[in-house]
Structure 1
Amino acid sequence: MIALTGCTTDNSLRDEHEKIADELDPTRDEGPVRDPGYEDPEANSRLGYVNYTKEQFEQDPERNRVITMNRTEMADIITRVILRHEAFDEVATLVTGEEVLIAYEKNDLLEANEAADVARKSAESIMPRHFEIYVSDNNVLIRDIESLHNSTTKDPDYDNTIEQIITEMKKSPQGRDD
């Protein structure tokens, strides 16, 4: 009976991990939600432009809307940029309000410091400068980051968990600070 309970727990953990992996699968949302060129092939080549006068802005009913960043989309972009480099086999990225945490598994094409530099510079090229960026080739941290994928900044253990992960990440090369 105890062995069956143990197997059930292992199967439950495996099922939960597979469910999370499916939720986080970057290919599952293909189509109009993920690809701006899906219905409009020229969407990816258009320039972005806006121009308001102060008067127009003051009259805009949305002028007081909160400006937000889609953290999941930013994490997705960073991960995809890093994976374009042939030295990376798996990358997990978490974007918070202040930090970017990147854990990766690399192959032997790059030394540890070079891989850290590629990961860091990829994130720096995408994120605003005020974000602190932490990287690690400790692939155990991939699962730690994954465990936070449904978290919010209001979760009770959020700050403590993030700090623990950052402490572990700092044990890995962080790339050059240019």
Structure 2
Amino acid sequence: MMRILLLSIILVGLILTGCAHTDSSSGEREQMLDELDPNRENKNANDMNDKLGYVNYTKDQINQDNEEHHSATINRREMADMIARMILRNEGFERVSTLVTDEEVLIAYEKNEALEEVEAADIASKTAVSVMPGYFDVYVSDNDVLIQDIQSLHNSSANNKDYDNTLDQIITEMKKSPQGIKHKEDIMD
């Protein structure tokens, strides 16, 4: 009888330990999957936006053969999308068209009468400068005709420079409008 009781206690202990281990490893597995694939949909998807960005490399890791040919790239469409959305979050903007090339950011917008022309140009320009690397030239305009002109270039490729004349004409037209603060140095002053 004592032997059966002892065997039962051991068996129950093993079952409880196994269940606890399964729940723990399942949670660890979910956490690893979340960290490896930030686009994974789960109940903690919003937590990924709260995490800080961090990396730690050694010189040897960067000098590996596959790293030597690694280059940073900019997704021009995502950057244009981000800039336009950020500008539209400001009061007074009704419509924003943004084009990001390999060297320029062109922003044409419609604003309401409550927003001053120079203030609108400052907001649009500062937004682009805050998002893009410093070597980009930023051009802004409240000439709503330019929205369609910018849109006409949306299918162009940065590798195909056939659109250069059109781009130069749009920039020339944009320069007739107030440009706001265009350079990071200007923002710092």
Under a length normalisation based on structure 1, what TM-score does the superposition of the two structures give?
Answer: 0.75
| 1:49 and 2:54 are equivalent in the alignment | yes
Structure 1 moving runs of 4+ over 4 Å: 35-39
Aligned partners of 1:133 and 1:170: how far apart in 2?
10
Mapped to 2, the partners of 1:146 and 1:45 lie a distance apart of 34
**Quick one: which amino acid aligns to residue 47 of structure 1?**
L
Distance 1:38 1:79, change over 3 A: farther
Aligned mate of 1:65, from 63, 70, 75: 70
2:160 to 141, 155, 177: 155
Long gaps (5+) in structure 1? 1-34
Is the radius of gyration larger for structure 1 or structure 2? 2
Alpha-carbon distance between aligned partners in 2 of 1:93 and 1:156, rounded to the nearest angstrom: 19
Residues 68, 41 of structure 1: alpha-carbon distance in 2 compared, 3 angstrom cutoff: same
Q: Which amino acid aligns with 1:147?
A: S
- The alignment of Structure 1 onto Structure 2 pairs a total of residues equal to 144
Query: Match for 1:103 among 101, 104, 108?
Result: 108
Secondary structure (helix, strand or coil) at the match of 2:77 reads: helix
Unaligned runs of 5+ in 2: 1-37
Matched residue, 2:177: 172
- Kindly report the root-mean-square deviation, in angstroms, between the aligned alpha carbons of the 2 structures: 1.8
1:85-109, Cα deviation, whole Å (9 max, x unpaired):
1110000000111110000000012
2:153 corresponds to which letter in structure 1? L
Deviations 1:113-162 (A, max 9, x none): 11101100111111111110000000010011111111012335221111
